[in-house]
Amino acid sequence: MSFKKDNTFFTGRLKSIVFAIKGAFKLATTEHSIMVQLSLGLLMTIAGIYFQITKEEWLVQTLAIGLVLSIEGLNTAVEKIADFIHPDYHERIGFIKDIAAGAVLFAAFTAIIIGGIIYTPYLF
């Protein structure tokens, strides 16, 4: 496989999209944390359909789901790089991985708050 940079606009962008789709597929099929987040996103989508949430609520909910999945993907990448660089436990690597996991926690809490704001009026 050649990693020669493609400088043409169209084919270069097309290759980038193909790599991104491959990456998303790898995340969705190999990483349990992403599988959990995708399942929760699907449940929230089903809830949105069931409760017939507004267009604005769909926009915010979609953004929250995308935020969590994106940050979870970046966290996974940080963990994979850290494990590749230093496979054994190392205090500094652990610190880096903890920070990346903390970013996921911030995104997840944000999504939970958004879900609460959207669905509380429909439930009570």
Q: What pLDDT, in 10s, does the model give residues 3-59? A: 666 668 888 889 999 999 999 999 999 999 999 999 999 999 999 999 999 999 999
User: Which of the 8 DSSP states describes residue 6?
Assistant: -
- Is 90 exceeded by the pLDDT of residue 2? no
**pLDDT tens digits for range 101-117:** 999 999 999 999 999 99
Whether 1 has a pLDDT exceeding 60, the answer reads no
pLDDT confidence of residue 91: 94
In this prediction, residue 124 carries a pLDDT of 93
What pLDDT, on the 0 to 100 scale, is given for residue 6?
A: 64
pLDDT attached to residue 3: 62
Secondary structure (DSSP) of 49-88: HHHT--HHHHHHHHHHHHHHHHHHHHHHHHHHHHHHH--S
